[in-house]
């Protein structure tokens, strides 16, 4: 019997026709049996400001933290803006990183992304991995899923690249494995 798992997902693009939102849906469509994915919307969060934090964390940030704490793993679908992580995603990470308990710590997580360029968000993904080192996230290393020339790989909102689809399937399986390993390690302590 497959053990149920809950993942939370962040999409770093706000654009209605975002390739990354379509890639996230393609990932969700391919998660292992028994896994569910809840997408956390971050587009209307205020810009991080320590003065705002001093007045209390916004309700949406608190709700995201609770969803993350209840989840087994974290998924990032991120475009690349100017060789790095989009501001909206970094803003969400900045808010959440200041909460207690900090919800990235110890969580198995994956990242993938789609872009019109040939590198398919490689640089943004590496920056996100660096951020998660500091926040003690447990990033799954492989497979790396970097969907380049995205404008040629989606038709009517559906991901049509067979090789990329297999990578997304494998990435979901790798996240599920990382979750099982983390649970097993926690049970031994």
- Residue 2: pLDDT above 70? no
pLDDT at residue 1 greater than cutoff 60: no
Tell me, rounded to whole angstroms, the distance of Cα 54 from its chain centroid.
27
153: left (phi over 0), alpha (psi -120 to 50) or beta: alpha
Strands (E), the chain: 5-11, 35-40, 73-77, 108-114, 138-139, 145-147, 154-155, 158-159
Give me the sign of the Cα torsion angle 103, 104, 106, 112: positive
15-73 tens-digit pLDDT: 989 999 999 999 999 999 999 999 999 999 999 999 999 999 999 999 999 999 999 99
Residue 186 pLDDT = 87
Tens of pLDDT, residues 169-185: 999 999 999 999 999 99
Domain extent at residue 31: 5-188
pLDDT at 157: 93
Domain containing residue 10: CATH number: 3.40.50.360
Count structural domains, the chain: 1
Please state, rounded to an integer, the average pLDDT across all residues of the chain.
Answer: 96
* pTM score: 0.96
Residue with token string 């679908």:
77
**Paired tokens of 72:** 């087994």
């Amino acid at each position: 019997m497959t053990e149920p798992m809950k993942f939370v997902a962040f999409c770093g693009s706000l654009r209605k026709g975002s390739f990354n939102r379509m890639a996230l849906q393609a990932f969700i469509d391919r998660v292992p049996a028994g896994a569910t994915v809840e997408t956390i919307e971050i587009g209307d969060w205020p810009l991080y400001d320590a003065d705002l934090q001093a007045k209390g964390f916004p309700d949406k940030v608190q709700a995201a933290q609770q969803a993350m704490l209840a989840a087994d793993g974290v998924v990032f679908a991120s475009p690349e803006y100017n060789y790095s992580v989009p501001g909206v995603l970094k803003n969400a990470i900045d808010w959440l990183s200041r909460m207690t308990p900090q919800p990235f710590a110890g969580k198995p997580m994956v990242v993938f992304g789609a872009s019109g360029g040939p590198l398919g968000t490689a640089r943004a993904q590496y920056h996100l991995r660096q951020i998660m080192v500091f926040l003690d996230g447990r990033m799954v290393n492989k497979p790396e899923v970097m969907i380049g020339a995205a404008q040629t790989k989606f038709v009517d909102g559906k991901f049509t690249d067979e090789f990329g689809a297999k990578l997304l399937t494998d990435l979901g399986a790798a996240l599920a494995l990382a979750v099982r390993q983390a649970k097993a390690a926690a049970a031994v302590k």
